[in-house]
Structure 1
């Protein structure tokens, strides 16, 4: 009798399991999402990339006001927009160093150094003057004092950036005392050139 009781219980349990597991009840499993086709346009990804590019461009065009006010401000902004990484303080530091190197090289008749710092027209003019100085056995020129240079004008002419810088210095050239030199130098470079150097392209009295 006891065996018959357990047999009936087992039959009831198996029947219940069949009703639950043998039929399609409950939620469907989530469908597998197919992997994106290689190279297929991704509207969301494209938008993120475009937004990122726009953000980077905006950063380039955001100029610190203190760097681009005063003389030549609009020209400096145009140059900065065309030449990534341009900075007025860094440019002036480079211009100051170039002034001392050019004046010293000119006074010493150092043509090799000048060729890397000035354009062809300025070099030819300096070469003539250096030949005359050598013939006259003129003494070398030293920069004794140099005030902080100042930008007086700037422009972007197509791909050519030009910046006028005012220099005021005291030079020693073998004479009695010092000789004051107040000049405006024009530096230029092609903004899309791989060569980062600015070249002296003109000199005039301030």
Structure 2
């Protein structure tokens, strides 16, 4: 059975993707290179971290470490892009849209989404998800190491989520109930790149 969300969700997904690409120009502005060239840097660790959001290692406020690299860092624009990405990722996961997810998440997070989607397909179940709105998006930590910047955000959102079987019976969720969802997502980018591209590298449900 093909995994699809209901038509209203599909329309919403298209609209959000358009919004995301409109924001990408401001969310993905170049980061100036740091004063010292690094001879080499470690690869981004794109593992799923459960209950392990890294904190800043100094007494700096979370975003101070990012502003040391990019004094012009615009928090409002970053959060607008992160909010859009959060919504897109949720709906793309519900639809089983791996092509959209590949553009937004790191390889190990993508592996987890692909496995969950495949298991849902094997059970012939369909996830219907309606994103109601974002209540809160707060930066909880930030770090920069070996040319990689990471920012963790705590999202509090309202969704309606229903999982249905092949015969349309409700397996989980309630189509009449709005549920509060709390997530901590970590985004990373290469600060040495001419154009910053933030990717989702870790998720942690709160």
TM-score range, shorter chain: 0.5 to 0.7
Distance 1:121 1:103 in 2: 16
For 2:114, the equivalent position in structure 1 comes to 127
Q: Deviations over 1:48-88 (max 9, x none)?
A: xxxxxxxxx9xxxxxxxxxxxxx965442232232364211
For 2:77, the equivalent position in structure 1 comes to 90
For 1:162, the equivalent position in structure 2 comes to 150
Corresponding residue SS for 1:129: helix
Task: Give the CA deviation at 1:193.
Answer: 1.3
Task: Give the CA deviation at 1:195.
Answer: 3.7
Corresponding residue SS for 1:192: coil
Distance 1:147 1:75 in 2: 21
Distance 1:203 1:123 in 2: 11
For 1:190, the equivalent position in structure 2 comes to 190
Corresponding residue SS for 1:147: strand
Q: What is the alpha-carbon root mean square deviation over aligned residues?
A: 2.1
Q: Of the two, which has the highest radius of gyration? A: 1
Match of 2:135 among 134, 144, 147: 147
Distance 1:202 1:150 in 2: 16
Corresponding residue SS for 2:202: strand
Distance 1:152 1:196 in 2: 20
Structure 2 length-normalised TM: 0.61
List alignment gaps of at least 5 residues for structure 1: 1-56, 58-70
Bigger relative contact order (CA 8 A; separation at least 6):
2
Q: Deviations over 1:117-155 (max 9, x none)?
A: 000110011110111122232223221121130001111
Moved over 6 A (4+): none
Distance 1:180 1:117 in 2: 23
List alignment gaps of at least 5 residues for structure 2: 1-31, 33-54, 163-172
Tell me how many residue pairs correspond in the alignment. Answer: 137
Structure 1 length-normalised TM: 0.61
Q: Which structure dedicates a bigger proportion of its chain to helix?
A: 1
